[in-house]
Amino acid sequence: MAKLIDVSDLNIYYGDFLAVEDVTMTIEPRAVTALIGPSGCGKSTFLRSLNRMHEVIPGARVEGKVVMDGQDLYGSDIDPVTVRRQIGMVFQRPNPFPTMSIYENVAAGIKLNAKRMKKSDLDELVERSLRGANLWNEVKDRLNRPGAGLSGGQQQRLCIARAIAIQPDVLLMDEPCSALDPISTLAVEDLIEQLKLEYTIVIVTHNMQQAARVSDKTAFFNLAAVGKPGKVVEIDDTATIFSNPSQKATEDYISGRFG
Amino acid sequence: MSAPTTDTTRTAQPAGSSRAGMREHRLPKWAPAAVVGAALVVAVLLTLPFGAPVAGVAVLTAILAVGGIWLASRIVEGSRKATDRLVTALVTVAFLIAMVPLVSVVWTVVANGAARLDVQFFTHSMFRVVGEGGGALHALWGTVIVTGLATLISVPIGLLTAIYLVEYGRGRLARWITFLVDVMTGIPSIVAGLFIVAVFALLFRPGLQLGLMGGLALSVLMIPVVVRSCEEMLKLVPNELREASYALGVPKWRTIIKVVLRTAVGGIATGITLAVARVTGETAPLLLTVGLTAGLNFNPLEGKMATLPVYAYYQYTAPGVPPEFAIERAWTAVLLLIALVMGLNLLARVISRVFAPKAR
């Protein structure tokens, strides 16, 4: 299931504004790649360009290549909708559908796309996804209750369950724990540990300890000045980045001597 | 108001402690009522030489009560509290003034219209009725058919326009549509009626009056209202939900139908119901486009049709001899119209409650 993504010479624009410049990196399968860096350096923008969520914003576009499975995701014959079915996404703020129950939220990827599925198969998929997101035991008795009634941490795990229910190859996470308390954060981090056995995971985080805890590879983004495009300063094994970075800027950022 | 009473003062720490500065003198809970009562008595006494007219007493009572509460509070509670009391009193008076026309209208209509609110009113038209008896069955049906047509025309156009503006519209075209919708909101209703009359005169023949024309004229008035309210409701749907849906590989059109509209359906239904209520009472355009008949006409494509507002208008302006029966019917028709609009408003509330996303 998990797949490798090869990004080469990627420039990301908002209209005429170049937001992220010249990113080249390989995202390994069955591993967690963390993107760190100061605010506004283009981590989230880069993440969103990986499953073509970037172009939902009017005027946003990219140049360059994002290759998965030998196919350029930005090729002219590729439908962004198909890309997003293979590359799922979890957002910063938990966003369960307020009109749907817990069950319906998990089944949303199937239901919203009007795919036919036997009730028993769907039940099984929902259970598997909720178990996958470590949420099954907490919600199994109230699957028909609204998803919005869960706590923030539970909602975020519900969103993860919803994302893995469509069985993507890659899971993108945009600061998935920044709105959560430490206990919920721990639950989500444990979950990431398990999920990486099956998925390629890319996670944006502002929390350096989190990057050090959960990721195998870390990419450090930075920008020269406000209004300048963000760039990848360094990408390496997480252990190397945090103990022996090759760039001065990386070391300064990680040790808090930034700016 | 003023939930904490004198008890607070008693349970507070004894004087001399550091908390003494926090204590305050308060008017007892019944003080405002007492001041209003006193003001009323004084007002009646003062206006007695002139026969104590109701309006005069009311105005004088309001002035005396506002002044009295402010003064009492100023003496006992200090200036900050007094300002609070003064503003509270002024807001209350403003509310009461706003209620006067509403209550007066409802009261008058109920008092005058109740007389003919009988079975016959709902089972008979004015076909072959002169003088006593008769009803508004035909007008009730006419109103239902004409506003129903208007709703059928306006809702798809209005809703789709709103979806275009919120989900797709960018740049000059969207700005122009928004501008024109705003302009349409301000069109006087008689102009909408004349517009439809002119169009039908050009296309078919002058002097035509049809139920369909009424529906079209009302939809000219209704479309901008529907667009505006639907637009506001769609804008309220958080962008995060759209993104969540896109991220699941759901195409945009499905996202709009199954997530955006589903989330906003309560507000949209409420907005549409209120728009219907808004055009139900329109008289001027219907006077021009639909006219009036004495009997039932269910066909909006042929012949004139009676509607409640036009029916009430003609019963009142051309009552015949003797006039009292027609005037009674006019009042009852108006009562029915008010009840209809009120019912639609209540329905809107129920709809918005039923569709509201629940947390638990």
Question: For B22-69, how does the pLDDT look when each residue is reduced to its tens digit (9 = 90+)?
Answer: 667 788 888 888 999 999 999 999 888 888 788 889 999 999 999 999
The domain boundary residue, chosen from B70, B86, B111: B111
Would you call A113 and B262 a contact, using CB atoms and an 8 Å cutoff?
no
Rounded mean pLDDT, A176-185? 84
Q: CB distance B248–A146 less than 8 Å?
A: no
Look at residues B76, B91, B111 and tell me which one is the last residue of a structural domain.
B111
User: A5-96+169-254 maps to which CATH number?
Assistant: 3.40.50.300
Of A89, A148, A149, nearest to B247 by CB-CB distance is A89
Residues of B in contact with A106 (CB under 8 A): none
Query: In CATH, what number is assigned to the domain containing residue B274?
Result: 1.10.3720.10
Question: Average pLDDT, stretch B8-32?
Answer: 61
- Do residues B79 and B206 share a domain? no
Whether pLDDT at B357 is above 60: yes
Q: Which of A81, A93, A114 sits opposite B249 (nearest CB)?
A: A81
Whether A253 has its CB under 8 Å from any CB of chain B: the answer is no
Domains of chain A by residue range: 5-96+169-254
Residue B359: the pLDDT is: 59
Closest CB to A58 among B170, B251, B255: B170
Chain B contact present for A58, CB below 8 A: yes
Contact residues, chain B, for A202 at CB < 8 Å: none
Average confidence (pLDDT) over A123-142: 90
Q: What pLDDT, on the 0 to 100 scale, is given for residue B360?
A: 54
Q: Is residue B151 part of a domain?
A: yes
Q: Is A115 on the interface with B (CB under 8 A)?
A: no
ipTM: 0.89
Quick one: which of A139, A105, A178 has its CA closest to B244? A105
What pLDDT, on the 0 to 100 scale, is given for residue A134? 85
Q: Is residue B189 part of a domain?
A: yes
pLDDT tens column, B95-120: 999 999 999 999 999 999 888 888 88
**Boundaries of domain holding B40:** 22-111
- Together in a domain, B71 and B153: no
CB contact under 8 A, B248 and A113: yes
* B116 found inside a domain: no
Q: How would residue B12 be classed by pLDDT, with cut points 50, 70 and 90?
A: very low
Residue in this structure with the two tokens 């997530």, named with its chain if needed: B259
B137-150 residue pLDDT tens: 999 999 999 999 99
Question: Tens digit of pLDDT for each residue in A48-82?
Answer: 999 999 988 888 999 998 998 888 999 888 899 99
SS3 A128: helix
Is B254 at the interface with chain A, CB within 8 A? yes
Same domain, B136 and B248: yes
Alpha-carbon distance A108 to A130, whole Å?
A: 13
**For residue A163, which residues of chain B lie inside 8 Å, CB to CB?**
247-248
In a domain, B52, yes or no: yes
pLDDT score at B272: 93
pLDDT, tens digit (0-9, with 9 covering 90-100), for A187-246: 889 889 988 888 899 999 988 889 999 999 999 998 888 778 888 889 999 999 998 888
Q: Within this chain, do residues B85 and B205 fall inside the same structural domain, yes or no?
A: no
Cβ-based contacts of A85 with chain B (< 8 Å): 248-249
- What's the domain count of chain B? 2
Residues 137-176 of B with CB under 8 A from A: 170
CA A193 to mean position of chain CA atoms: 14
Question: Are residues B93 and B134 part of one domain?
Answer: no
Q: pLDDT category, A259, cuts 50, 70, 90? A: very low
On whether both B151 and B280 belong to a single domain, the answer is: yes
Closest chain A residue to B168 measured between Cα atoms?
A58
- Strand-pairing partners, residue A174, are A204
A148 to B359: CB separation less than 8 angstroms, yes or no: yes
The pLDDT of residue A180? 80
Q: What pLDDT is stored for residue B51 in this prediction?
A: 81
- Specify the pLDDT at position A10: 92
Is 0.90 topped by the overall pTM? no
**Residue among A84, A95, A163 whose CB faces B240 most closely:** A95
Give pLDDT, residue B21.
62
